[in-house]
A and B are shown apart, each in its own frame.
Chain A
Amino acid sequence: MRRVALVAAGVTRFGVRKAGLKDLIWEAGKAVFGSNSRVRPKDVEGLVVGTVMPERTANQSHIASLAAECLGIKPQRLSARTEHMCASGSVAIRYAHSFIASGLADLILVLGVEKLNLPNMDEALFNMGAGVDRDWEACYGLTAPPCFALAAQMHMTKYGTTEEQLALVSVKNHNHAKKNPYAHFQKGAEIDQVLCSKIIATPLRLYMCSPITDGAAAIILASEERAKDLTDKPVYILGSGQVVEGFSLASLHPDYSHWPPMKKAAGDAYAMAGVTPEKIDVAEVHDCFSIAEIIAYEELGFCEKGEGGEFVARGFSDYGGKVVVNPRGGLIGCGHPLGATGVAQAAEIYWQLRGEAEERQVQGAKIGLTHNNSGMGEHLVIIYGAG
């Protein structure tokens, strides 16, 4: 396999945006090409677009070709759209990685984009139900919060994880987002604010949930040879793993606080990269709900099973701790524009490993990790290393 590097990255402002789908695509295009003057749209050989529901939110399919036209790209090697609910962006990166690693292409742009907010918020929430089984789950009004609430209930029952520990993830990520000009929320949060916010789905409160957010992000990947011409500081993909074991609540591991496919995906990524969890300096993990970040510490091997609550409470996942988790503010602070999230995570790691993350910089970061999931049984982990 050939080595593959990130050579450019750009992110739009995330939030309730006064913008349509194409506006977000244009903004991400300007941002990514603006980050590296040596790459022009006409040079890009392939495009992969991670997006979940433009059919529902903009009445628009055929997204890859639409985005190519918006950005002035004429794909000669690869043009595809990936839809894998909340992990769509990372799946797009894995496609691009494999195409370049195999020699089928040398330069691919990965775009993640999602316009979720609509004139009617209840419809935006209704659309999120399209991500669970319509016949057996979504028909009751199920969306993501109650699913992850089951994990929280089990983690609290089994390991004694507390509501305060769940809240501390939110406090950390909101405070990180304060330093991120692209984040949905930039005011920070105090623990009382989190603990006094309304219940969404017991035991998860509003501040423990990622919001409904619009946004887009783009990165450009290149073969090692091309990367050397395009930047002095390429950021290499060292390894990745993707494991899917179960879609519906009926078929997942019966202990919802235990995510074996995440451990497996991480293990595959660590083995391919030739690194161990202790070597990770900075991680962008999928905190769609605060419980997910606590379980991520455990399944990624940052701490033992059941100790995730303690890990955040002792500051181990913050600056000055063992590994800085979610420096950009995570999904809780940045928001979660589905298809854009995985790509925005990669962009953050790109900046971190190049020393360009400004106020959010993790000093001396050399190895970074991203984790993107699309439900409790579906995980994708990518490990990056500075050139």
Chain B
Amino acid sequence: MALDKMTDLYLRTSDPYPLQSAAFNGLHEFYAHLREGRLTTTRCLGCGSVCWPPRRFCPECLTDKFDWVDLPKEGTIHAFSIQEAGAPQGFLAPLVFAVVKVEELRIFSLISCSEPKKIALGQRVRFTTLAVTNEPGGEKRMLHAFEPF
């Protein structure tokens, strides 16, 4: 469906998620990889640095040339907080927010779990995905997340 047909249904200011399609997002391949069950990020073709989150300009070597690399699917909880009240419109508490250490990278994410109180510092978690509402136009949207195992 063409976007202009969606204008009466969709307001960008009330959509909490990034637009993930190529029409709106230069990092659209990240999301395509998520839909394939892959957690990836960009590697700079100039200096080889791998960073999080993915980016399209390298401040070290000033290039805009990148390729995609797969990240390990496991990490450890570096810091976390369980939000029990005051979640914004569209989100339901409790929400377990964490910074997950994956190799040398720190990845902010939600922890999917049924027992938030069991989450601990240093705990091992693995990559998973969360399906969220579709983009106007119908393309599926996903976010990366982690879960205890």
Q: Do A and B bind each other?
A: yes
A272 contacts the other chain (CB 8 A): no
Contact of B86 among A133, A143, A249 (CB under 8 A): A143
Contact of B17 among A139, A198, A209 (CB under 8 A): A139
* Contact of B86 with A250 in the complex, beta carbons under 8 Å: no
Residues on B with C-beta less than 8 A from A150 are 79-81, 99
Which size bracket describes the interface of A in this complex? 35 or more
* Given contact pairs A126-B90, A157-B121, A201-B82, A141 touches B16 in the complex (Cβ within 8 A): yes
Contact of B16 among A120, A139, A153, A249 (CB under 8 A): A139
* Contact of B109 with A140 in the complex, beta carbons under 8 Å: yes
Number of residues of chain B lying within 8 A (CB) of chain A: 34
Residues on A with C-beta less than 8 A from B106 are 249-250, 254
The A173-223 residues at the B interface (CB cut-off 8 A) are: 198-204, 206, 209
A122 contacts the other chain (CB 8 A): yes
Q: Give A203 to B88 CA distance when docked, in angstroms.
A: 19
* Given contact pairs A125-B88, A150-B99, A250-B52, A139 touches B18 in the complex (Cβ within 8 A): yes
Q: What is the distance, in angstroms, from A201's C-beta to the closest C-beta of chain B?
A: 4
Q: What is the distance, in angstroms, from B64's C-beta to the closest C-beta of chain A?
A: 18
Residues on A with C-beta less than 8 A from B50 are none
Q: Mark B104-119, 1 if CB is under 8 A from A, else 0.
A: 0111111000000000
Residues on A with C-beta less than 8 A from B7 are none
B126 contacts the other chain (CB 8 A): no
* Contact of A153 with B53 in the complex, beta carbons under 8 Å: no
* Contact of A142 with B78 in the complex, beta carbons under 8 Å: no
| 10 sample A-B contacts, Cβ–Cβ < 8 Å, listed by A number | A126-B90, A133-B53, A137-B108, A140-B97, A141-B88, A199-B84, A202-B82, A202-B83, A206-B85, A250-B105
Which residues in A have some Cβ–Cβ distance to B below 8 Å? Answer: 56, 120, 122-123, 125-129, 133-143, 145-146, 149-150, 153-154, 157, 198-204, 206, 209, 248-250, 254, 256
Extra pairs beyond A141-B83, A146-B95, A157-B121 (13, CB < 8 Å): A122-B87, A126-B14, A126-B16, A126-B90, A139-B18, A140-B95, A140-B97, A150-B99, A153-B121, A199-B82, A202-B82, A202-B83, A202-B84
Question: Would you list the 4 A-B pairs with minimal beta carbon distance, nearest first?
Answer: A141-B91, A149-B81, A126-B88, A122-B89
